[in-house]
Amino acid sequence: MRARIVIFATAAFALTGCSSSYQFEHEGMQQNAKLNPELGVLISTPDDGFYGQKKYPNSAKATVQTIKSEFLKYSKNVDITQDCKGKQCLQSIDNQQYGYYIEPVILHWEDRNTEWSGKSDKVEIQIITYDAKTHQIIKDARFSGKSKWMTLGGDHPQDLLKDPTEEYINSLYQ
C-alpha cells in the first residue's frame, strides 16, 4: 500500500511540472470595447528580448508573427511594420487603412537549457492596443509565461506566446 502512495505522489509531482503556466494583467480596457473585424491592424516590431546582458536575436520576429497569426483569425488586413515604434508609429499611421495599432514590448525573454538545468524558460510581454483615429489605448495587457519544468528538449520562450496571445486577442473581439 505504501508503495502505491509513493508511486502516486511521484506521478502527481511529475505531472505538475509538465505544463506551462501563465499570468495575465489587463489594464486600460474601455468599457465594452470590442474591435471591429472590418478594420485593419498594424503591428510594430519590438526590440529583441533579453535576459541580463544576453540578447535573443529573432525573438521580436517570433513575437510579432504570433501576434499577427492570432489577429488574422479576425481581420483580413493585418500588417507588421519595422519602420516605426511606439508613439512615433501611432502618430504616422494611416487610419484609413488601419483602425488599430498594436505595440508589443518584450519585457523579459529567458531561454534556458531546462532539460539540463531544471530552470524554466520565461517570457514577459506587454501588448498595447490603440485606436488609430483617437490615439487612445483600448487595452494594455501584460502576460508572463514559464515553461514546464520537465521537458524533452526543444522548448523555447516563443513556445509560451501562443496561448496567452490567443486569449488576449480573443478578448478584444468577443
Mean pLDDT of the chain: 80
pLDDT in tens, 53-110: 889 899 999 999 999 999 999 999 999 999 998 888 999 999 999 999 999 999 999 8
Domain count, the chain: 1
Radius of gyration of the chain (CA): 19
Say if 161 falls within a structural domain.
yes
Range of the domain at 146: 21-173
* Burial of residue 37, with CB atoms counted within 10 A of its CB: 0-12 exposed, 13-18 middle, 19 or more buried: middle
What pTM was computed for the model? Answer: 0.79
The C-alpha atoms of residue 149 and residue 132 are separated, in whole angstroms, by: 41
For the packed helices 162-173 and 59-71, what is the interaxial angle rounded to 10 degrees? 40
User: Which residues lie across from 125 on neighbouring strands?
Assistant: 106, 143
Say if 126 falls within a structural domain.
yes
Q: What is the pLDDT of residue 92?
A: 92
Residue 110 belongs to domain with CATH number: 3.40.50
